[in-house]
Amino acid sequence: MLSFSILASGSSGNAVLVRSETTCLLIDAGISARRLEQALRAHGISPERLDAVLITHEHRDHVKGLAVFGRRHAVPVWATAGTWAELPRVAGEIGTDRCFVFSPEQALFFGDISVEPVPVSHDAREPVMFCFYQGETKLALATDLGFVGDRLKRVMAGAHAYILESNHDVAMLRAGRYPWPLKRRILGDKGHLSNEAAGEALLDLADDRTERVYLAHLSEENNLPELARTAVERALKRGGLDRIPVRVAPRHEATALYTIGGRALSGGADLPGAGMWQRRP
């Protein structure tokens, strides 16, 4: 049994809970420690029960609460070497000595969940996305990336559920008030996926096994939930995949805990290869 809940999503903060019956993982800590604690406990999980915190990259909306959360609970924190190099500058000193380094494409194992970190194209030091495996189930999580290339598609393909960035509507972004250098960064290969790009990617990723898609990291300034959902649903319909439910992750509240192959287990908003483990030096 593999379950997940998106605890927060967007430029104001990102965090995701992934769990099995025996293992609990937190991916990113981009909201306050207090909000993280409340969201976890709403799903019946004490912070001390976490087996690991996995960080995708060092941007503040993914690590804002990490230092305080680490001091309070001393959970193991995992990140790439590049991310660790930037974290003190962005988030302050992480308040635990249980800090570990993983290499992209190095398999990680936590209890009965295996994790595959994969490099992505984003304007961070060494960013990754994650695929999670438990038994025969697979969850793919990718929320900050400029494009989904063929290599990444091969890794992500055939997941039972996707949490995929659908950051902006291109027309809204181009007409919006952002300065042109920021618009160019968002639209570039190291920026963020548009609604249309997310839909096109899912055409190649989803298949008959796919049960659900969550659209994440929507821009508050340059997107609307209905625009994101409509664009992705339109793309899936072209591929004969319109049976797949498409949901938009809320910005400030957690989704229900969704179980792959099952059902929502707890309350929350729900809008329509082994590698070596290395302690951080």
Amino acid occupying residue 46: S
> Of the candidates 101, 9, 19, which has an alpha carbon nearest to the alpha carbon of residue 55?
101
In angstroms and rounded to an integer, the radius of gyration of the C-alpha atoms of the chain is: 17
Measured between alpha carbons, how far is 126 from 119 in angstroms, rounded to an integer?
7
Domain positions in the chain: 3-269
Measured between alpha carbons, how far is 42 from 224 in angstroms, rounded to an integer?
27
Distance of CA 263 to the CA centre of its chain: 20
Is the Cβ–Cβ distance between 180 and 201 less than 8 Å? no
Measured between alpha carbons, how far is 60 from 12 in angstroms, rounded to an integer?
9
CATH of 3-269, one of 3.40.50.970, 3.60.15.10, 3.40.50.300, 3.40.50.720: 3.60.15.10
Per-residue pLDDT of the chain (281 residues; tens, 9 = 90+): 899 999 999 999 999 999 999 999 999 999 999 999 999 999 999 999 999 999 999 999 999 999 999 989 989 999 999 999 999 888 888 866 789 999 998 899 999 999 999 999 999 999 999 999 999 999 999 999 999 999 999 999 999 999 999 999 999 999 999 999 999 999 999 999 999 999 999 999 999 999 999 999 999 999 999 999 999 999 999 999 999 999 999 998 999 999 998 544 444 555 543 333 333 33
